Structure 1
Amino acid sequence: METKDKKRRSALCVALLHRVLLQRNAPLLNNTSAILSGLFGRKIGVSGSQIITTTLVIITTLLAILAYLEVGLNNIPVSLKLIRWVDSESLNISWAFHFDALTVSMLLPVLVVSSLVHLYSISYMSHDPQHNQRFFSYLSLFTFMMVVLVTADNYLLMFVLVGVCSYLLVNFWYTRIAANQSSISALLTNRVGDCFLTIGMFAMIWAFSNIDYSTVFSLSPYISENVVTLICICLLIGAMAKSSQLGLHVWLPMAMEGPTPVSALIHAATICTAGVYLLMRSSPLIEYSSTTLLLCLWIGALTTVFSSLIGLFQQDIKKVIAYSTMSQLGMMVIAVGLSSYNVALFHLVNHAFYKALLFLGAGSVIHAMADNQDFRKYGGLRAILPLTYSVMMIASLSLVAFPYMTGFYSKDLILELSYGQYYFSSTAVYFIAVIGASFTTIYSIKVLYLTFLSNPHGPLIYYKNAHEGDLYLSIPLIVLAVFSIFFGYITKDIYVGLGSNFFVDNSIFIHPSHEILIDTEFSVPTIYKLLPFVLTITMSLFALIISEFLPESLMNFKYSRFGYNIFVFFNQRFFVEMFYNKYITGKILILGGQTTKFLDRGSLELIGPYGLEKGILYLGKSISSLDTGVITSYALYILVGLTFYISIPYIYSFDNSLILVMLYSLFYLINLKSLRSSVSDSVFKLLNKGKI
Structure 2
Amino acid sequence: MYQAIVFLPLIGFLIAGLFGRAIGHTASELVTTTLVVISAVLSWVAFFQIGYGETALVQVEILRWITSGALDVAWSLRIDTLTVVMLVVVNSVSALVHIYSIGYMHDDPHRSRFFAYLSLFTFAMLSLVTADNLLQMFFGWEGVGLASYLLIGFWYQKSSANAAAMKAFVVNRVGDFGFALGIFGVFVMFDTINLSAIFANAPAVVGAVAHGTEAAAGAHGPAVLDFLGYSLDAGTAMTVVCLLLFMGAMGKSAQFLLHTWLPDAMEGPTPVSALIHAATMVTAGVFMVARLSPLFELSHTALTVVTFFGATTALFAATVGLVQNDIKRVIAYSTCSQLGYMFVALGVGAYSVGVFHLFTHAFFKALLFLCAGSVIHAVSGEQDMRRMGGLRKHIPVTYWTMMIGTLALTGVGIPLTYIGFAGFISKDAVIEAAFAGHNAASQYAFWLTVAAAGLTSFYSWRLTFLTFHGKPRAPVDVMKHVHESPMVMLVPLFILSVGAIAAGMAFKAPFFGDGYDAFWKGALFTGPDNHILHALHDVPKWVKVSPFVMMATGFIVAWYFYIRSPETPKRLAAEHEGLYKFLLNKWYIDELYDWIFVRPAMWLGRTLWKKGDGVVIDGCGPDGVAARVQNVTTWVVRLQTGYLYHYAFAMLIGVAALVTWSMFSGVSTGGGAH
With normalisation by structure 2, the TM-score equals 0.83
Indicate whether 1:56 and 2:35 are aligned. yes
Structure 2: how far apart are the matches of 1:214 and 1:597? 53
Alignment match of 1:585 (pick from 574, 598, 617): 598
Which residue does 1:493 correspond to in 2?
Answer: 509
Alignment match of 2:281 (pick from 254, 268, 271): 271
Which residue does 1:45 correspond to in 2?
Answer: 24
CA deviation map 1:420-470 (0-9, x unaligned): 235663122211111111111000010000111111111111211111111
Alignment match of 1:412 (pick from 428, 443, 453): 428
Q: Summarize the alignment of residues 185-264 of structure 1 with structure 2, pairs less than 5 Å apart.
A: 185-220=167-202, 221-222=204-205, 224-264=234-274
Which residue does 1:135 correspond to in 2?
Answer: 114
Which residue does 2:96 correspond to in 1?
Answer: 116
Using the TM superposition, give the Cα deviation of residue 502 of structure 1 relative to its aligned residue in structure 2, in angstroms: 3.9
Amino acid at match of 1:131: H
Q: Secondary structure at the match of 2:344?
A: helix
Q: Summarize the alignment of residues 513-592 of structure 1 with structure 2, pairs less than 5 Å apart.
A: 513-522=529-538, 524-560=539-575, 563-588=576-601
Indicate whether 1:305 and 2:315 are aligned. yes
Using the TM superposition, give the Cα deviation of residue 482 of structure 1 relative to its aligned residue in structure 2, in angstroms: 0.7
Q: Secondary structure at the match of 1:79?
A: strand
Q: Summarize the alignment of residues 599-614 of structure 1 with structure 2, pairs less than 5 Å apart.
A: none
Which residue does 1:164 correspond to in 2?
Answer: 146
Using the TM superposition, give the Cα deviation of residue 269 of structure 1 relative to its aligned residue in structure 2, in angstroms: 1.7
Alignment match of 2:157 (pick from 175, 180, 183): 175
Q: Do 2:278 and 2:332's aligned partners in 1 also have CA atoms closer than 8 Å?
A: no
Structure 2: how far apart are the matches of 1:596 and 1:397? 55
Structure 2: how far apart are the matches of 1:84 and 1:351? 36
Q: Do 1:50 and 1:136's aligned partners in 2 also have CA atoms closer than 8 Å?
A: yes
> Structure 1 residues 596 and 24 mapped into 2: Cα distance closer, same or farther (>3 Å)?
farther
Q: Do 1:495 and 1:502's aligned partners in 2 also have CA atoms closer than 8 Å?
A: no
Which residue does 1:678 correspond to in 2?
Answer: none
Which residue does 1:663 correspond to in 2?
Answer: none
Q: Do 1:245 and 1:303's aligned partners in 2 also have CA atoms closer than 8 Å?
A: yes
Amino acid at match of 1:571: L
Alignment match of 2:444 (pick from 428, 434, 439): 428
Name stretches of at least 5 consecutive residues in structure 2 with no aligned partner. Answer: 206-217, 219-233, 414-419, 615-621, 623-671
Moved more, 582-591 or 458-467: 582-591
Q: Summarize the alignment of residues 325-344 of structure 1 with structure 2, pairs less than 5 Å apart.
A: 325-344=335-354
Q: Secondary structure at the match of 1:153?
A: coil
Amino acid at match of 1:127: D
Structure 1: how far apart are the matches of 2:278 and 2:554? 25
Amino acid at match of 2:165: S
Q: Secondary structure at the match of 1:248?
A: coil
Q: Secondary structure at the match of 2:517?
A: coil
Q: Do 1:170 and 1:258's aligned partners in 2 also have CA atoms closer than 8 Å?
A: yes
Which residue does 2:65 correspond to in 1?
Answer: 85
Amino acid at match of 1:170: I
Amino acid at match of 2:469: L
CA deviation map 1:181-236 (0-9, x unaligned): 00000001111111011111111121111111112222234462211111100110
Using the TM superposition, give the Cα deviation of residue 599 of structure 1 relative to its aligned residue in structure 2, in angstroms: 13
Alignment match of 1:126 (pick from 102, 106, 120): 106
Using the TM superposition, give the Cα deviation of residue 513 of structure 1 relative to its aligned residue in structure 2, in angstroms: 2.1
Structure 1: how far apart are the matches of 2:514 and 2:29? 44
Which residue does 1:467 correspond to in 2?
Answer: 483
Q: Summarize the alignment of residues 640-651 of structure 1 with structure 2, pairs less than 5 Å apart.
A: none
Q: Do 2:29 and 2:102's aligned partners in 1 also have CA atoms closer than 8 Å?
A: yes
> Structure 1 residues 156 and 590 mapped into 2: Cα distance closer, same or farther (>3 Å)?
farther
Alignment match of 1:446 (pick from 462, 467, 486): 462
Q: Do 1:415 and 1:433's aligned partners in 2 also have CA atoms closer than 8 Å?
A: yes
Structure 2: how far apart are the matches of 1:113 and 1:205? 34
CA deviation map 1:223-258 (0-9, x unaligned): 622111111001100000000000000000000000
Using the TM superposition, give the Cα deviation of residue 585 of structure 1 relative to its aligned residue in structure 2, in angstroms: 2.5
Q: Secondary structure at the match of 1:204?
A: helix
Q: Do 2:300 and 2:439's aligned partners in 1 also have CA atoms closer than 8 Å?
A: no
> Structure 1 residues 247 and 23 mapped into 2: Cα distance closer, same or farther (>3 Å)?
same
Amino acid at match of 1:176: K
Using the TM superposition, give the Cα deviation of residue 584 of structure 1 relative to its aligned residue in structure 2, in angstroms: 1.9
Amino acid at match of 2:72: N
Amino acid at match of 1:381: L
Q: Secondary structure at the match of 2:146?
A: helix
Indicate whether 1:478 and 2:460 are aligned. no
Structure 1: how far apart are the matches of 2:527 and 2:83? 20
Amino acid at match of 1:162: V
Structure 2: how far apart are the matches of 1:409 and 1:284? 26
Using the TM superposition, give the Cα deviation of residue 498 of structure 1 relative to its aligned residue in structure 2, in angstroms: 3.3
Q: Quick one: percent identity of the two aligned structures?
A: 41
Structure 1: how far apart are the matches of 2:400 and 2:267? 26
Structure 2: how far apart are the matches of 1:180 and 1:538? 40
> Structure 1 residues 599 and 147 mapped into 2: Cα distance closer, same or farther (>3 Å)?
farther
> Structure 1 residues 275 and 423 mapped into 2: Cα distance closer, same or farther (>3 Å)?
closer
Q: Do 1:339 and 1:515's aligned partners in 2 also have CA atoms closer than 8 Å?
A: no
Q: Do 1:75 and 1:101's aligned partners in 2 also have CA atoms closer than 8 Å?
A: no
Amino acid at match of 2:106: S
Structure 2: how far apart are the matches of 1:520 and 1:146? 32
Amino acid at match of 2:555: S
Q: Secondary structure at the match of 1:512?
A: coil
Q: Secondary structure at the match of 1:94?
A: strand
Using the TM superposition, give the Cα deviation of residue 81 of structure 1 relative to its aligned residue in structure 2, in angstroms: 1.1
Q: Secondary structure at the match of 1:513?
A: coil
Give the aligned length: 580
Using the TM superposition, give the Cα deviation of residue 578 of structure 1 relative to its aligned residue in structure 2, in angstroms: 0.4
Using the TM superposition, give the Cα deviation of residue 34 of structure 1 relative to its aligned residue in structure 2, in angstroms: 0.5
With normalisation by structure 1, the TM-score equals 0.81
Alignment match of 1:101 (pick from 68, 81, 95): 81
CA deviation map 1:317-345 (0-9, x unaligned): 00000000000000000000111110011
Q: Do 1:361 and 1:391's aligned partners in 2 also have CA atoms closer than 8 Å?
A: yes
Q: Do 2:171 and 2:261's aligned partners in 1 also have CA atoms closer than 8 Å?
A: yes
Amino acid at match of 1:410: S
Structure 2: how far apart are the matches of 1:549 and 1:201? 55
Which residue does 2:471 correspond to in 1?
Answer: 455
Q: Do 1:401 and 1:408's aligned partners in 2 also have CA atoms closer than 8 Å?
A: yes
